[in-house]
Amino acid sequence: MNDIAIVGLGCRFPGAADLRAYWKLLLRGERQFTAVPKDRWNHDTFHRPDDPQAPDSAYTDQVAFLTDVDRFAAGHYGLPPRRAEAMDPQHRLALDVTREALDDAGLGRGGFDRERTGVFFGISASDYRELATARLRALGLADGSLGTTADTDALNALRASSVRDLPPIGTFTMPGVLLNMAPAAVSRHFDLGGPSLAVDAACSSSLVALDHAVAQLRRGTCGTAVVGGVYLSLTPDSLIGFSRLGALSAAGVCRPFDTRADGFVLGEGAGAVILRPLQDALVAGNRVYAVIKGIGSANDGASAGPLTPSSEGQLRAMRGAFDDAGLPPAAAAFIEAHGTGTSVGDRAEVEALRLLRTDGGERDPGLCYLSSGKALIGHSLSAAGIAGLIKTALVVHHRTVVPQPDVIPRPELGLDAAGLRVADTARALPLSKSDVPVCAAVSSFGFGGTNVHAVLQQAPTATSVRRRSVSLRTHGVATVRDAGPHLALISAGSPQLLREHIDDLLDHLERPDAAPTASLAALAHTLAGREPLPSRLAIVAGDTAEFTERLRRARRQLAEGARGDLGDGAFAADAPLRPAARRIAFVYPGQGSQRPGMMRELHERYPDFRDAVDALGAEAGRHTGVDPADLLYGPAADSADDTALRRRLAPTEVCQPLLGTVQIAATGLLAACGVVPDVVLGHSVGEFAAATTAGVLPAEETVSLLARRGAILRDAEGEPRGSMLAVQTDEETCRRLVEDVRDVWTACLNEPRQTVVSGTKKGLATLRRACAEAGIATRALEVSNAFHSPRLTAGDEAVRADLDSRPLANPRLPLVSCVSGTVCDDPEQLRRLWARHASAPVRFSAAVRSAYDAGARVFVQVTGGNSLLSAVRRNLVGQDDVHVVAVDSPAPDGQRGYLGALARLAVLGVDVDVRKLIEPADRRLLDLPIARLETQSYWWGRRPTAAAHGTRSAATTPTTPPLPSIPADTPRRRTSAAPTKDHAMHELLDLIQHQVTLLGRLGEALTGATDTEPARPTGHADDAGAEAGTPAEVAAETEAATETAQDAVFEQIARISAFPASELHAGQRLVDDLGFDSLMLTDLFTSLKRRWPSLTVDERCARPTVGSVTAMVREEALPRPPGGLTLLPQPAVPPVPEPRHP
């Protein structure tokens, strides 16, 4: 447990919007020093280069600042504009870099224990707080509260001019600027339940945070940790303060260890790393950038002063780190120094390093490269340690020393005597002198004397594995051909950002150095581990050459406005469907849907599917003597012709358990990919697989039942056996035709224009002639019996007896029975329906409508091609919100068809995860670009401005902010709907009710109101005995009350959240979609109660939507008839038809 792996990195530093840009900047040695941007403050007011001692001034204007720090993807994080503008941008950066680090680690969509994940952030100042409280400070100066002489005229002038334009402190100001809320925001958004704390040790804050995290991981308190640091300079305070200390470079260039060094340049930045115990990371297959072998921390103690560095204190931290690592200091081939470029600081640090490396009389400690990132990006104070840690991890990972530009080593430092060298060009990391893997180290020292040193080592070499692939290059793209196709899921924050992300991916894939890592399996695995964003592209391809070509083509198609099915296995959408619009129904076909070799490619390539088929097939074979796996995929299946195979699959005693086996296994494979149903139904015998999915029967029990049922029905009909015929006409026409034919019955009511009949072969031949004379098409079905007809009634009693021996559980989700055509939630009712299942007609048309009424909008046929999906569409004609997807494709490559179905579901918004479809040996993470989020400007006292893309230049035209993007069904969000969350929501409801009551009492106390004369609710009858108005009057009052309620609710939600009222609609969830918390909900209900005092906070407030709150208020606003009953319009309830039997 001592070794800690760094498995994910995310950052934003000057000149580097992300991790890949940071590494490029380091490799090129590009300095990022510029004048103070005009959008920070007017530095002309404070800049005095010719008078360094002038009060309230800085002698330099050079800084290394981030751009667009006002921009934030509030919608992505579920934060309303009102909260976003009150939120310290340091907190926002903490969210952004954590998201990128989790994505980089392949954990963006989960796969780790969130409850045991801690958050440790170094953060030591909040200039945003100074901006948010500027109004108070100005008033305090004018009225004498801050020790000045009161000036009434100045106070009145401030109130009338400058202060008037500054917003007062609001509800979210305090949580928005507290330092501890940076890690708290990360814990809350990502639902992390471990320790969450902010660390302030000045410049060493983020490495002190690292020390805390390592300790928690080693103790086992945490299984994963997020460690970060952040700093922004939003006021001139720090620049002026460091000028007073003389610590800043007058030349405006930071030159650590250089003869020209004269101080540092103030920088900014944010970074985060994801840590896991090394063994856990290796078992999980995480990419390991570097291993933290040891960490040491110490304080200077009673040294020369709190701002004066001490070699002794630094040396204690360094020795502690190497002792903790169990490694000699000479093992380090690279050291990322604190390296501020001050004369005293550089001298103290090099002295400590010399003593460390020559400890014990070591005369030749070997070559070690010394570096300081402050030479490029300045000193980012509380983020400096994380900047150095990420840099060092990258140096170890890439085994490359990065350069420090234009350096002239300072002779008196004695670098050579310590075996230290500052690299002026990028070069390979030298091998360690000692017989250990290459090591590196990083230091961070803070004002106040807190020193931290960490020792990193290269990751263990992965065990070589056999790969079924060969390297090749096609059309200029480096590729590794993988066994079988893969599905790559690409997403971004908006359609424009998706196109830009595709450009970034193409640039990356077409680099000359992409060859060693361009396996499509690894690429698909990397993309699948990232959090799905709204705009999506899904591509099925066989290798990276094919993928790259399809990616290029899709880029052109998207630019031309194409969406949906782009052809050749590519699908795209601007945004996922709303959650209610992507509820899934699994549809299972019955007999006749079987075919030779069905789903063969899935059986060959996916172990989960193969194992399930083999296990269930063995259970079926135990009862029937025929193993479905052998029948479908064994040697006999390869040698026989198609006609012979179809005959072997047709007998009902073989077909029923075979279909159940394949359907249950296919359902399990879909679940492994994150696709689970909200509703299930099955046509004919497919109903039993549907019931298994709903949890009514275990899988083995279902296969056993189907085997026994098949044997019963085989003998139930007698000889000669009948058959079935599909008739292309409506139910009524078919009934008239059947009435004139003996021994034929209506069997399946599939759709408005198709009915299936069942009967004797002689009777069916007669009916077929009659249909031909009437111009009605027919088709014979490949079945062994006259199912769903009275000819099988003899088997009902035996099936009933078998069912009585099997316990049935309550369905876990809506199960629609095709016997009744309705949802069945009672196992005993289901038992009765199944007892006559074989002889009763299939009411598929009614079942489809019931599934739709139960909320299903995406109908997924699990096996048997798309045979039922056309019927689904025709049964729901006119319902434009219906989508149909076939999982089992009869195409030459069923695996492509399966992946294509997953691709379609993914762009609809389903949480598709293809990682389990990729062989473990190919589950490698690649250094792919991270998609940017769509951002807007949020700043204290400013209106949000138009959306911008990622970190690119901000738009300047004011506009209303967009509502949060529709969330995908990510695992984290699904977890939020679990029963434990329901308990939390009820606790929140109680809290809201309590707060509303307290605020109401406070209002009464302030206004003098008492309980003896309660306020009369607005819109209620003045007298309980008053006559009700005419229907027309009541209708008019009802309509007016509805408009009043909606206007009031929309107005208050818009006021509290800052979302425009015009963008609100009834389906939006206040918490999940609009970012409301308990304070905002309390504000909403309190304001509504002021208008309608009798309004009660009830169960609808536990998970409130805009519509439910409007309905609650509407009930209070409606007129009341005698007796005080609210007049509510009654919805028409359609009658439920009784099942009709032949």
Q: What CATH code is carried by the domain that includes residue 563?
A: 3.30.70.3290
Q: Judge whether residue 529 has pLDDT over 70.
A: yes
Angstrom distance (rounded) from CA 637 to CA 588? 24
Q: d(Cα 521, Cα 540) in Å, to the nearest integer? A: 11
Q: Is residue 80 domain-resident?
A: yes
**pLDDT at residue 488 in the model:** 97
Catalytic residue among 203, 222, 655, 673: 203
368 is annotated as an active-site residue: no
3-state secondary structure of 25: helix
Burial 484-521 (b: 16+ CB within 10 A, else e): bbbbbbbbbbbbebbbbbbebbeebbeeeebeebbbbb
- Whole-prediction pTM value? 0.85
Q: What is the pLDDT of residue 1007?
A: 41
Tell me which of 91, 379, 397, 501 is the catalytic residue. 379
Q: Are strands 62-64 and 266-267 parallel, antiparallel or unpaired?
A: parallel
Q: Does one domain contain both 64 and 193?
A: yes
**Residue 910 Cα to chain centre, angstroms:** 11
Per-residue pLDDT at 1009 exceeds 60? no
pLDDT computed for residue 304 by the predictor: 66
| Paired residues of 822 in beta bridges | 817
- CATH value at residue 1088: 1.10.1200.10
Higher pLDDT, 619 or 479: 619
Residue 827, in any domain of the structure = yes
CB atoms within 10 A of CB 435: 6
The β-bridge partners of 472 are 479
Is residue 417's pLDDT more than 70? Answer: yes
Q: Give yes or no: residues 449 and 498 share one domain.
A: no
Same domain, residue pair 570 and 634? no
Q: For residue 242, which phi and psi values (nearest 5 degrees)?
A: -70, -25
Residue 139's pLDDT is 81
Bridge pairing between strands 269-277 and 4-12: antiparallel
**DSSP category for residue 865:** T
3-state SS, 833-863, equals HHHCCCCCCECHHHHHHHHHHCCCCEEEECC
Residues 585 and 568 in one domain: no
Query: What's the domain range around 337?
Result: 4-133+169-457
Average pLDDT estimate for 887-907:
89
- Are 197 and 234 in a shared domain? yes
Q: At what angle do helices 1031-1057 and 1078-1091 cross, to 10 degrees?
A: 140
Q: Which stretch of DSSP H or E encloses residue 764? A: helix 761-773
Instruction: Answer yes or no: is 1116 within a domain.
Output: yes
More confident residue, 152 or 532: 532
Asked, for residue 956, whether it belongs to a domain, the answer is no
Neighbours of 412 (CB within 10 A): 11
Stated as kind and residue range, the H or E segment containing 368 is strand 368-371
154 and 216 in contact (C-beta within 8 Å)?
Answer: no
Task: Kindly report the CATH number assigned to the domain that includes residue 597.
Answer: 3.40.366.10
Q: Into how many domains does the chain fold?
A: 4
Cα–Cα distance measured from residue 520 to residue 479, given in angstroms and rounded to the nearest whole number: 8
The predicted structure's pLDDT at residue 243: 94
pLDDT higher than threshold 70 for residue 994: no
Lowest-confidence region among 64-78, 244-258, 705-719:
705-719
Exposure on the CB side of residue 63, measured as CA atoms within 13 A? 31
Q: What is the pLDDT of residue 935?
A: 94
What is the rounded distance in angstroms from the CA atom of residue 79 to the CA atom of residue 86? 11
Pair 234, 319 in one domain: yes
Active site residue 683: no
pLDDT of residue 1139: 37
Annotated catalytic, 379? yes
Q: Are residues 572 and 598 in the same domain?
A: no
Is 313:303 a contact under the CB 8 Å cutoff?
yes
Mean pLDDT of 595-624: 93
Q: Is residue 533 over pLDDT 50?
A: yes
Q: 488-492, 878-882, 914-918, 1106-1110: which has the minimum mean pLDDT?
A: 1106-1110
585 and 609 part of one domain: yes
In percent, the amount of the chain with pLDDT more than 90 equals 64
Q: What is the mean pLDDT of residues 1073-1085?
A: 83
Q: Is residue 794 part of a domain?
A: no
For residue 618, what pLDDT is reported?
93
Residue 371 lies in a domain: yes
| β-pair partners for 63 | 34, 266
Instruction: State mean pLDDT over 192-208.
Output: 97
**Same-domain pairing of 506 and 642:** no
What's the order of all strands across the beta sheet hosting 486-492? 486-492, 535-541, 570-573, 564-567
Q: Any idea which of 49-58, 154-163, 545-554 has the lowest mean pLDDT?
A: 154-163
CA 820/CA 790 separation, integer angstroms: 17
- pLDDT value, residue 1126: 41
Q: At 261, which CATH number?
A: 3.40.47.10
pLDDT at residue 601, as a whole number: 92
In the beta sheet, which residues pair with residue 353? none
- Same domain, yes or no, for 27 and 82? yes
Residue 329 within a domain = yes
Mean pLDDT of the chain: 86
448 plus 366 within the same structural domain? yes
**Rounded-to-integer distance, Cα 489 and Cα 894, Å:** 19
Residue type, 1129: P
Q: Taking residues 669-679, report their average pLDDT.
A: 97
Q: CB of 1060 within 8 A of CB of 960?
A: yes
Calpha distance 643→1067 (Å, rounded): 53
**For 651, which DSSP code?**
S
SS3 annotation, 989-1010: HHHHHHHHHHHHHHHHHHHCCC
Q: Is 561 in the same domain as 618?
A: no
d(CA 995, CA 874): 52
Q: Is 883 within a domain?
A: no
Kindly state the DSSP code that residue 936 receives in the 8-state scheme.
E
Q: Which of 91, 338, 486, 603 is catalytic?
A: 338
Residue 334's nearest CA partner among 377, 382, 397 is 397
